[in-house]
Amino acid sequence: MPLPIRLEPFCQSDTPDPGGTQASEAAEEVKLAAYERGYVAGWEDAERQAGQEGRDRRAAVERQLEGLSFTYHEARGHVLRALEPVLDAMLATIVPEAARASIVPEVIGQILPLAHDASEAPVTLQIGPGMRAEFDAALRGLVLPPLDIRESPDLRPEQAEIAFDTRLTRVDLSHAAEALRGAIARYYQIQFEESRHAS
């Protein structure tokens, strides 16, 4: 006949087991201590992992910012290099035209004070070739001393010379274009140096 199955009794016995209770309390304390160590180790591991993730994120952000900084300087350099021919073309066309258009008012500003000082001594005005019509139109109707206007092949359209008695006044707006070219060249040199140091 088969042996009967012996099952462990799960019910509480009414009779206290003095040795079993202490053993179960000691086992319970070991379990609680192991649980506490595991819990603390889990928190420490989570804190370590969170700290490492934070450092990794900060390092990634720093790399991105460095990349953006280089990208900014590179983009700025490209834009400035693209603008340089435009600025050169403007200096070659617009500034001389502006100087040519400004020479007449500038000369009139120089001649008008002479009208107050002049007696009957003539004022000689030498201008660049092709500028006579513009000066005649601008001077028409102004009260001036006797004025002798001469075109001189030695002068450019943005230049003029005013001779009164022994005084000679030269009006030269051509230097404005040269000064602008120099300023732009210096600006580009500074930008080149800055972008070279930024890289």
Q: What is the pLDDT of residues 20-69, one digit of tens each?
A: 567 788 888 889 999 999 899 989 998 999 889 989 999 988 888 877 76
pLDDT of residue 1: 63
User: Above pLDDT 90, what percent of the chain?
Assistant: 10
Strand 123-127 with 159-164, pairing: antiparallel
Average pLDDT, the chain: 80
pLDDT beyond 70 at 115: no
pLDDT of residue 19: 54
Provide φ and ψ at 71, rounded to 5°. Answer: -65, -40
Tens of pLDDT, residues 134-182:
888 888 887 777 888 899 999 988 889 988 877 888 888 877 777 877 8
Tell which wins on pLDDT, 42 or 3.
Answer: 42
DSSP 167: E
- Tell me which residue of 23, 71, 95, 45 sits closest to 198, measured CA to CA: 71
| Residue 17, burial from CB neighbour count under 10 angstroms (0-12, 13-18, 19+) | exposed
Q: Phi-psi region for residue 160, left (φ > 0), alpha (ψ -120 to 50) or beta?
A: beta
Hey, what are 88's tokens?
């050169």
